[in-house]
Amino acid sequence: MNALGYELTWRFKPARDRARPLFLEDYRAAREALIQSRATHLDQLTDKLREPRVQGVMRALLSGQDEDLQGISPDDQQYVEDLGLIETRPQVRISNRIYREVIPRDLTWIMQTRIPNQEQEWYVTSKGHLDMPKLLRAFQQFFREQADAWLERFDYKEAGPQLLMQAFLQRIVNGGGRISREYGLGRKRTDLFIEWPTDPARGFHGPMQRIVIELKLQRGALEGVISQGLVQTVAYASQVGADEAHLVIFNRDPEVTWEERIWETERTMEGRCIRVWGA
C-alpha cells in the first residue's frame, strides 16, 4: 500500500498539485506502473510461486477446479494464507487485485517475451477497435503450434492453457488497453475483461471497447460445457457492461486431433450474441 500510495501521489507528478483531485483512472495507472516496475516485494512473490506448497494451492485457484485442491493439505493452505497470497473467507481466492494481475503475468512473463511474430497493430481496425475474432483466430493457430512445447515444461500445467492465452493477450493488449482477471475456486472458469480505449488522445477517459472472454477446460460432453459456459459468459458480460463476449473452451484430450479441437461458432443467449471458440 505504501508503494502504491507513493506511485500515485508523488511519482505521478500532476498529483503533486494538492488542488488536483485523484480519479479512479489515476489509481489504475499507478497500479499498472507498480506492476510493470517489478518492485522488490512483487519480485519476491515470484520466488514464492515456485515453492511446491504454494504451487498446489495456486494451481487449483488459477484453474478454478475444486478437485485440484482436494489433495492439498490444510497445513499447505494455511501456509499460503499466512504468506498473504490468498484469503479463505468468504471463499478461497487470491487475496487482492494487484496479486490477481501480478501472479499470471509473472508465471507467463517468459512466454510473453518469446511469442513470435505478433504485433499490436495487426489487430487494431481503422476505427481504433480491437479485432477480437482476428486475434482469437491467431491465438488458435499459435496454441496449435506451441501449446505442447510450452505446457510440457510449465510448472502450472493444469492452468497452463488459460495462462498461455493470457500471455498471448497481454502481449497484444499491453500498452494500449487493460486486462482484468477474476479467479475463484469452484467457478470452473477464468473471467477476462478487456478494456480498450478507441480514442488514443483521450485514453481511458474517452470511449471504450469492453470485451469479456470466458476460459473453460472441457471436462465432459462438449455441449454441456458450452451450455454452462454461455450462462456464465452472459452473466459476467452483463455484470461488467461488456458489448462483446467470447467463450473459449480448451480440449486437452490427447486422443482428440487438432482438426477437431480448432473450431468457432456463434450462439445467442438472452439476446446477446456470443462467439464460441475451441482450442
What is the mean predicted confidence (pLDDT) over 189-194? Answer: 86
Cα separation, 240 vs 39, in Å, equals 30
Considering the domain architecture, whether residues 33 and 104 belong to the same structural domain is answered as no
- Whether pLDDT at 134 is above 60: yes
Residue of 240 and 110 predicted with greater confidence: 240
**Which domain does 16 fall in, by range?**
2-37
Considering the domain architecture, whether residues 9 and 124 belong to the same structural domain is answered as no
Considering the domain architecture, whether residues 15 and 144 belong to the same structural domain is answered as no
54 domain-assigned = no
65 domain-assigned = no
Total structural domains within the chain: 2
pLDDT digits (tens, 9 = 90+) for 53-94: 888 788 777 766 655 566 678 888 898 888 888 888 777 788
pLDDT digits (tens, 9 = 90+) for 151-183: 776 666 677 888 888 888 888 887 788 888 887
**What pLDDT score does 146 carry?**
80
For residues 29-48, one letter each, b for 16 or more C-beta atoms within 10 angstroms of the residue's C-beta and e for the rest, the string is bbbeebeeeebeebeebeeb
Tell me which residue of 88, 48, 76 sits closest to 184, measured CA to CA: 88
72 domain-assigned = no
247 domain-assigned = yes
Q: In whole numbers, what is the pLDDT of the chain averaged over residues?
A: 84
pLDDT band at 242 (very low <50, low <70, confident <90, very high): very high
Considering the domain architecture, whether residues 257 and 149 belong to the same structural domain is answered as yes
pTM attached to this predicted model: 0.81
**What pLDDT score does 41 carry?**
60
120 domain-assigned = yes
117-110-169-31 Cα dihedral, nearest 10 degrees: -130
Cα separation, 13 vs 10, in Å, equals 6
Strand partners, 181: 192
Residue of 155 and 30 predicted with greater confidence: 30
Considering the domain architecture, whether residues 19 and 123 belong to the same structural domain is answered as no
194 domain-assigned = yes
- Whether pLDDT at 184 is above 70: no
pLDDT band at 39 (very low <50, low <70, confident <90, very high): low
74 domain-assigned = no
Considering the domain architecture, whether residues 151 and 256 belong to the same structural domain is answered as yes
pLDDT digits (tens, 9 = 90+) for 198-213: 988 888 888 999 999 9
Considering the domain architecture, whether residues 30 and 106 belong to the same structural domain is answered as no
3-state secondary structure 249-279: EECCCCCCCHHHHCEEEEEEECCEEEEEEEC
